[in-house]
């Protein structure tokens, strides 16, 4: 499915009856997941020209868009303290079948994930990270040599974001930038580490799985925060890495690297076993985070910072 968020939210806004407004939560439920409420608000702020966007309010009735109060007043909406009267807030909207369809796609593609090791030596490990500034993404891919962890190559991509951040749907936001950055590497990596979850996901198909399956590359998910599953108190073959289980099955490990106070979460993306994924994360981590991901994170943040400074200077 083409994850056209702009089209989906336009369908929702078109369903708001004349003389009424809708909350971000109501629109999120119509999209298929109430967790999309913050993403709806962010999208509208970044796309203020969205038709009927002025008719979207927060739970307390405050318009999401700063200029909307005047528009709503001109349209005859009763306002009090900058808020629309609750009698004008619609309780529900028709389902536009968007996020539910994406979840079904995740569940279907999850069956394509291979959790066995590819044959052949591993020499080059790459990491990909993405930073954001408004509706722009800055994706960086960094390759390192497994033998000495020295940088082999970096690739940079800047592009417009077409999908907001919605928990558990990160792949639909990040895949275009990740794919572009990886394809700019002159040498295809033997293993790709993604800043995000793999199997440690409600649909067992996080961004690392999505990237691995779509690009047909061995991938590992390495995330800084938990998303799904329960950390077990006893380790399995890794004395300092605790297994994380979903429905009784170990789907990842929580491991605290050197010089880091909090655990990172390692899981299979595609075409690698969990034990091998954990081994490679350990082997490529000097300080706090796997080296390829650490470099990619620094570069993507620098790209964003440089762009912000250039825009500031232009003003």
Per-residue pLDDT, averaged over 163-174, amounts to 97
pTM, two decimals, is: 0.92
Give ranges for CATH 1.10.10.10 in the chain.
5-97
Q: What is the pLDDT of residue 240?
A: 79
Strand arrangement, sheet containing 264-270: 151-160, 136-145, 124-133, 191-195, 219-223, 264-270, 249-255, 241-246, 230-231
pLDDT (tens digit per residue) in 48-99? 999 999 999 999 999 999 999 999 989 999 899 999 999 999 999 999 999 9
Nearest one of 176, 178, 173, 175 to 140, comparing CA atoms: 178
Round to whole Å and give the CA distance between 125 and 96. Answer: 41
* pLDDT above 70 for 234: no
Rg (CA), the chain: 22
| Sign for the pseudo-dihedral over CA of 50, 53, 54, 55 | positive
Q: Where in the chain is the domain with CATH 3.30.2170.10?
A: 109-309
d(CA 122, CA 143): 12
Nearest 5°: phi and psi at 311? -65, -40
Question: What is the fold of 109-309?
Answer: archaeoglobus fulgidus dsm 4304 fold (3.30.2170)
Name the pLDDT band for 314 (thresholds 50, 70, 90): very low
For residue 306, name the pLDDT band (cuts at 50, 70, 90).
confident
Strands (E), 164-279: 191-195, 219-223, 230-231, 241-246, 249-255, 264-270
Higher per-residue confidence, 135 vs 171? 171
Mean pLDDT over all residues of the chain? 93
Please say if the pLDDT value at position 162 is more than 50.
Answer: yes
Share of the chain above pLDDT 90, in %: 89
117 φ/ψ angles, rounded to the nearest 5 degrees: -75, 140
Q: Strand 79-80 to strand 83-84: parallel, antiparallel, or no bridges (unpaired)?
A: antiparallel
What digits encode the pLDDT tens for the residues 18-42? 999 999 999 999 999 999 999 999 9
Tens digit of each residue's pLDDT (9 = 90 or more) over 211-221 = 999 999 999 99
Three-state DSSP class for residue 107: helix
Average the pLDDT over 166-174 and give the result: 97
Would you say 166 and 175 are in contact if contact means Cβ atoms under 8 Å apart? no
Q: Please compute, for residue 27, the number of CA atoms within 13 A of its CA located in the half-sphere on the CB side.
A: 33
Higher pLDDT, 313 or 290: 290
Fold observed for domain 5-97: Arc Repressor Mutant, subunit A (1.10.10)
């Amino acid at each position: 499915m083409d994850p056209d968020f702009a089209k989906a939210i336009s369908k929702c806004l078109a369903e708001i009856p004349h003389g009424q407004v809708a909350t971000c939560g109501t629109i999120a439920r119509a999209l298929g997941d109430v967790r999309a409420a913050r993403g709806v608000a962010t999208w509208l702020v970044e796309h203020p020209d969205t038709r009927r966007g002025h008719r979207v309010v927060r739970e307390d009735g405050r318009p999401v868009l700063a200029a909307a109060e005047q528009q709503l007043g001109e349209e005859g909406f009763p306002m009090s303290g900058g808020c629309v009267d609750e009698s004008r807030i619609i309780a529900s909207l028709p389902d536009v079948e968007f996020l539910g369809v994406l979840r079904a796609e995740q569940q279907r593609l999850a069956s394509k994930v291979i959790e066995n090791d590819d044959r052949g030596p591993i020499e080059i490990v790459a990491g990909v990270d993405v930073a954001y500034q408004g509706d722009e993404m800055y994706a960086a891919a960094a390759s390192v040599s497994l033998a000495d962890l020295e940088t082999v190559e970096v690739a940079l991509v800047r592009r417009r974001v077409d999908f907001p951040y919605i928990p558990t749907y990160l792949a639909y936001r990040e895949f275009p930038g990740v794919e572009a950055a990886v394809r700019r590497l002159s040498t295809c990596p033997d293993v790709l580490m993604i800043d995000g979850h793999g199997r440690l996901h409600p649909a067992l198909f996080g961004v690392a799985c999505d990237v691995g399956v779509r690009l047909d590359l061995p991938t590992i998910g390495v995330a800084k925060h938990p998303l799904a599953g329960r950390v077990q108190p006893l380790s399995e073959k890794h004395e300092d890495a605790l297994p994380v289980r979903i429905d009784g099955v170990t789907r990842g490990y929580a491991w605290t690297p050197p010089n880091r106070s909090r655990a990172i979460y390692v899981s299979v993306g595609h075409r690698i076993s969990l034990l091998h994924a954990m081994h490679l994360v350990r082997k490529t981590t000097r300080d706090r985070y796997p080296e390829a991901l650490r470099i990619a994170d620094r570069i993507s943040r620098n790209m964003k910072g440089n762009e912000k400074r250039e825009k500031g200077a232009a003003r």
